Structure 1
Amino acid sequence: MGFLDPERLRIGEHGTPPDLAPLRELARRMREERDRMLGFPFNLDFDYRPLAEFLAVHGNNVGSPRTDSHYRIDTRPFEVAVLDFFTGVAGGDPAHVSGYVTTGGTESNLFAVWVARERHPDAVLYASAEAHYSLPKIGGLLRMPYVEVATADDGTMDTTALLRELVRHPGRAAVVTATIGTTGRGAVDDLPGIRRALAAAGVERSRVHCDAAFGGLLAEFGDEAIPWNLASGADSVALSGHKVIGAPMPCGVVLAPEADVAGIRSAGVAVGADDDTVTGSRDAVSPLLLWHRLHGLGREGVAELVRRCHRTAAHAQRELASIGRNPSRARGGTIVLFDAPAEEVCRRWHLACNERHAALVVMPHVTEQHVDRLCDELRKAG
């Protein structure tokens, strides 16, 4: 972004009217790049400009979304509606599930592991070698022993390897993170298999957290029934707001057992509100964005977004195969791996590439026309 001259952007000692030209140019370029954003798991097909008036007020959902605060410029009722929607999608009962709208997957995972650790202070944290990068960091932050579990050839957690690791920590509680849609290839860990491994290892105290930020909605509304949620044996679940749904900033939802969350709740400390969150003061706009989008879509609209992603991913797999790029796709996923093209092509289409593979990530803004344009370019490049 050479047009963003640091000297031009420098903030001086005395206030002056900001130069809007760099902002307008940046917005224009970001919109242009959006049309070739095929390699990252977030949805760019949204328009929240009708909610612009909320940028002129400080909204703060400080503390728990289900308690009142002395600070009353908030959007708590909308946040609760969003939480209830996602609790229903995840197969939970709002009377027994707590949670809140977070800043994204890392905070959601941190919260879920934190409340599990408070329930079982001696717990070991387990996650697969392809789990989200936040998990080892969370283990360090919470001073929990962290065990990286090997993956099978398809990228899912090897539950036999998990059993071996569990046996190495006899008498210790276990917090196991199941990844529902890995970042690299969209693999979905075997939730029932994780439960079987815990039972076989004789682990009597455990919590299973499903990091379903990327793949939860894909699993719920895909053609194939894939266990992923509270109803399938998870104790807690993290879901993203900016991936399938779409938002201008990272956001997410975390859901955990009320009995566990009660253990970390502090009454009345957050300007009169109970606090059972990581951050305390919280963004009040993200819940509005999610409510606005979900209200317009409804459950069936979200399902159609997912079905469209699966159709486009299948189209991409066919088209990439037709030009000899050897595509592959994880069960229930919308990441299509294929033989890596030249670095220039990867940069132009925002594809995550390594020496072997490029990853085309089909989200709702990615159409069959996008896929066809990419394949035309690959075909011409040879």
Structure 2
Amino acid sequence: MRISLESDLAIGDAPRSPEDRAADKALLGTVANQMRQARDHMVGFPVNLDFDYRHLAEYLAIHGNNAGSPCGSSEYHLHSKHFERAVVDFFAKLAGAPGGAAFGYVTNGGTESNLYGTYLGRERHPDAVLYASAEAHYSVPKIARLLRMDYEPVPTDAAGVMDLVALRKACLRHRARAAVIVVTIGSTSRGAVDDLPGVRGVLAEVGMGRTHLHADAAFGGLLAALAPRPLPWGFADGADSIAISGHKMIGSPIPCGIVLARPQHVENIRQPGAAVGADDDTISGSRDALSPIMLWQELRALGREGLTQRVRQCLQMADYATDRLRADGRHPDHLPGTNTVLFDAPAQTVCDRWNLLQVDGQAHLITMPHVTHKHIDRLCKEIAYPTGH
């Protein structure tokens, strides 16, 4: 079914007739079926499609709202803050929070999590310059504009990692001011991981004592934490706040994320009793109550060991894809410890069908948990015979 926004989806003034409502229901069913079919060719975006939450449909008949702080309750009783706190506690421990505890809440995605961490840093140090890798997530320069912060993009090396020599030079230019630095743990371009302890070392070397380090670990945090060779990414490695994605490695039909922060820094922004009987120490105030339940379900089922197995499966699949694409002469480029594989872009019809993004002549394949050997084999076959699938 081809849908025209003007003719098929326009909303009129009068109520729809029973017949029209039945047609609308059929249209929605058709679109859902098309989206389900398209899942089988989704290999170019960092989103996990291996989940099923249909048994939670009863929550769609309830207006759940986790208004204000995740801590405690509120005067609005239809909430899931107890599930949210369990999710936050899991990630706080995984990130090496001091004493196993950190403030955190479930956001509506990585951008809100990055905004929150940067906002904490700006409130701690109002004169701060915001530094980030030139390959940082596109939300970072946008956040600089939102918070009216001077922004210094730092060049990267050949692997896409923040160049510490360039960072040192940038910090020296603004030595009299504080520094808020977004450290990218898994870049969207190729999964590169900035050197968090190295960034700390540069700040100490140039004598910058007023700092806030936010780890954007939305894409690569779980890979860094649970890979066979873990990489520095969390509180124990110097982060003051951390963004983690909920819909990437875990999987969710709704974009969501988790933000973590050292509790003492949250005091700077907390508004006591502002949100229906709860403190407000979040960005969005009213918040989705279903995402914490879905995240809790998956984390409860997997546990740390299951999540580790999922991460390692993704890394093994990236190695397999690299070998297959190399054998097919596609010149794959794959950083060890990541699940992103760049390779010579195939025909546009293949990129469109398999949701492969193209940058500078290279296509991006990302081996998320739902991607299997069969996906890779079928993709390689279609690359070789683009009109024969």
Q: Is this a same-fold pair by TM over 0.5?
A: yes
Q: How many angstroms apart in 2 are the aligned matches of 1:96 and 1:245?
A: 21
2:110 corresponds to 1:90: no
Letter in 2 for 1:177: V
Post-superposition offset of 1:380: 2.5
Map 1:168-207; keep pairs closer than 5 Å: 168-207=173-212
Shift in CA distance, 311/227, structure 1 to aligned 2, threshold 3 Å: same
| Matching residue within 67, 72, 79 for 2:72 | 67
Alignment of 1:190-229 (within 5 A): 190-229=195-234
How many angstroms apart in 2 are the aligned matches of 1:270 and 1:6? 39
Change (3 A) 1:81 1:94: farther
* Cα separation, 2, equivalents of 1:170 and 1:66: 38
1:276 aligns with 2:271: no
Q: What SS does the aligned partner of 2:71 have?
A: coil
RMSD of the alignment, in Å?
Answer: 1.3
Residue 11 of structure 1: aligned partner: 11
Q: Is the 8 A contact 2:215 2:243 kept in 1?
A: yes
Deviation of 1:135 (Å): 0.5
* Cα drift, residue 93 of structure 1: 3.8
Q: TM-score, normalised by structure 2?
A: 0.96
Structure 2: state its 5+ residue gaps. Answer: none
Matched, 1:306 2:311: yes
Note the C-alpha offset of 1:41.
Answer: 0.2
**Shift in Å, 1:12:** 1.7
Deviation at 1:104, TM superposition (A): 0.4
TM value normalised by structure 1? 0.98
Task: Give 1:94 shift.
Answer: 6.5
Separation in 1, partners of 2:314, 2:101: 32
C-alpha contact (below 8 Å) 1:3/1:22 kept by paired residues = no
> Which residue type is aligned with residue 12 of structure 1?
G
Distance in 1 of aligned mates of 2:216 and 2:99: 19
Closer/same/farther in 2, CA of residues 280 and 94 from structure 1, 3 Å limit: farther
Query: 5 Å matches for 1:114-153?
Result: 114-153=119-158
CA distance in 2, matches of 1:343, 1:291: 39
What is the CA deviation profile of residues 62-87 of structure 1, one whole-angstrom value per residue up to 9, with x for unaligned ones?
00001321111100100000000011
Deviations 1:103-143 (A, max 9, x none): 00000000001011111111110001100000001111111
Aligned partners of 2:331, 2:11: CA distance in 1, in Å?
50
CA contact (8 A) 1:75 1:288 kept: yes
Q: Distance in 2 between matches of 1:238 and 1:9?
A: 36
Task: Give matches, 1:1-382, under 5 Å.
Answer: 2-4=2-4, 6-16=6-16, 17=18, 18=21, 19-93=24-98, 96-381=101-386
Percent of residue pairs identical: 54
Asked whether the 8 Å contact 2:104–2:261 carries over to 1, the reply is yes
Residue 98 of structure 2 contacts residue 236 of structure 2 at CA under 8 Å; is this kept in 1?
no
Q: Counterpart of 1:328 in 2: which secondary structure?
A: coil
How big is the shift at 1:329? 1.1
CA shift, 1:354, in A, is 2.6
- Does the 8 A contact of 1:313 with 1:362 survive in 2? yes
1:246 & 1:107 partners in 2: Cα distance? Answer: 18
1:31-54 deviation digits (Å, cap 9, x = unpaired): 111000000001001000111100
The one-letter amino acid paired with 1:296 is: A
User: Offset of 1:5 from its aligned partner?
Assistant: 5.4
Mapped partners of 1:316, 1:236: distance in 2: 34
Aligned counterparts of 2:64 and 2:229: Cα–Cα separation in 1: 40
